[in-house]
Amino acid sequence: MNTSVRRISALAIAMIAATALAACSTPSTPTTPTASKPGAVTDIAVSSSPSSGNASLYLPIQDGSYKAAGLNVTPQVLQNGAQAVPLLLNGQLQFAASDPLSALAAISQGTPISIVAAGAIVPTDASKDPNGAIVAADSTITSLKGLNGKTVAVNGLNGFAAVSMKAAIDAAGGDSSSIKWVEIPIPQMQTSVANHTVDAAVTTEPFITAAEAAGSGVKPLPGGGIATATGGLPQLVYLASDDYIAQHKDTVSAFVSAVNAAAKKLTGDPSLIRTVAKTSTTVSADVLDKMTLPAFGPLTLKAMTKLQSLAVKYHVLSGPVADLPKHVFTN
């Protein structure tokens, strides 16, 4: 078995923590979904990313779309994303936010879960990419190619940030295999880069905007985004257990439809993302007004297949998931 797959399987599913500025308590009691029948309200709990990438989950709460569909959705921000799978399987959660590569790795190991919806996706327009690398304020590195032979920090060695940046570096003519990749929690990245503990770090908003502030000790790497290599691919996905999907098809369909409709609204009116994020994250209003916003879109098998190919290329998976279409719910 590929050692990187074992590593992710041991961690189970790691919820994206790219902009984890605050931690909330985990669910303490099981949530039992209400039976689906006319006029009934189904209670569902969903583990959430505390980043602005959660906007398509929270918007239907704010605009009443879940309520209109007969759903009462309670987001739960987990302190540790590895808790998500056990909570899904024992019924304390009905859906869970996840790094998509962690989800693929768990599915490849036989975990009875499936990907039902996409949260934030990488924009196809590189100028609107909220992701990127930061380097020290006095660094002489001026491009992704300049990271060759350097030490670069990521929040997970086999997660989406690492794989997408490797793909971006190689697409820019660099050699990602020449880089020493190290794992550092995102809140510690700015200090590590400023102190030259690492040469660069892969991060996302609001930390890119924070890097632009005078006296931060760091700066964004020009052209340091990932959109050129992974534009259109999901950065955040929502999972459900296979048993729950089989037993509550109408509820799953209603949840997915609401999230997809929210993604469409957010794409048509990006200002909604800032509005939602003011209550769904702890990012300050002044930073929200300045930072590059995430993109949103529906889950597609095509995007997950491409992401799977990158996972195989960069040794996160030892091979393709044989029954991937069965684990990608496209409503």
Give the E-state strand segments of the chain in sequence order.
Answer: 42-48, 71-77, 95-98, 113-118, 120-121, 131-136, 151-154, 180-183, 200-204, 218-220, 237-241, 295-296
pLDDT tens digits in sequence order for the chain, 331 residues long: 444 333 333 333 333 333 232 223 333 333 444 444 556 899 999 999 888 999 999 999 999 999 999 999 999 987 556 678 899 999 999 999 999 999 999 999 999 999 999 999 999 999 999 999 999 999 999 999 999 999 999 998 999 999 999 999 999 999 999 999 999 988 899 999 999 999 999 999 999 999 999 999 999 999 999 999 999 999 999 999 999 999 999 999 999 999 999 999 999 999 999 999 999 988 888 889 999 999 999 999 999 999 999 999 999 999 999 899 999 998 6
Residues 162 and 53 in one domain: no
Residues 242 and 317 in one domain: yes
Residues 182 and 204 in one domain: yes
Of residues 25, 85, 83, 13, the one with CA closest to residue 50: 25
Residues 138 and 68 in one domain: no
Rounded-to-integer distance, Cα 17 and Cα 187, Å: 10
**Single residue among 230, 265, 300 that ends a domain in this structure:** 230
Rounded-to-integer distance, Cα 117 and Cα 297, Å: 9
> What end-to-end distance do the CA atoms of the chain give, in Å?
33
Domain that holds residue 214: 126-230
In this structure, are strands 151-154 and 180-183 parallel, antiparallel, or unpaired?
A: parallel
Rounded-to-integer distance, Cα 174 and Cα 28, Å: 47
Residues 115 and 261 in one domain: yes
* Residue for token pair 């996972």: 311
The pair of structure tokens assigned to 134 is 């930061």
Residue 285: the pLDDT is: 87
The full DSSP string for 149-187 is TSEEEES-TTSHHHHHHHHHHHHTT--GGGSEEEE--HH
User: How many folded domains does the chain comprise?
Assistant: 2
Residues 203 and 170 in one domain: yes
Quick one: 177 exposed, middle or buried, by C-beta within 10 A (0-12, 13-18, 19+)?
Answer: exposed
Rounded-to-integer distance, Cα 179 and Cα 166, Å: 9
Residue 40: the pLDDT is: 80
Residues 268 and 222 in one domain: no
Residues 200 and 76 in one domain: no
Residues 33 and 180 in one domain: no
Rounded-to-integer distance, Cα 56 and Cα 203, Å: 21
**Single residue among 184, 203, 230 that ends a domain in this structure:** 230
Residues 146 and 292 in one domain: no
The pair of structure tokens assigned to 256 is 């997915």
Residue 297: the pLDDT is: 94
Residue 24: the pLDDT is: 31
Degrees to nearest 5, angle at CA 95 with 35 and 41:
30
**Single residue among 230, 251, 282 that ends a domain in this structure:** 230
The CATH code of the domain that includes 100 is 3.40.190.10
Cis preceding linkage at 38, omega within 30: no
Residues 282 and 192 in one domain: no
User: How many other CB atoms are found less than 10 A from the CB of residue 323?
Assistant: 10
Length in residues, the chain: 331
Residues 181 and 267 in one domain: no
Rounded-to-integer distance, Cα 217 and Cα 237, Å: 33
Residue 276: the pLDDT is: 94
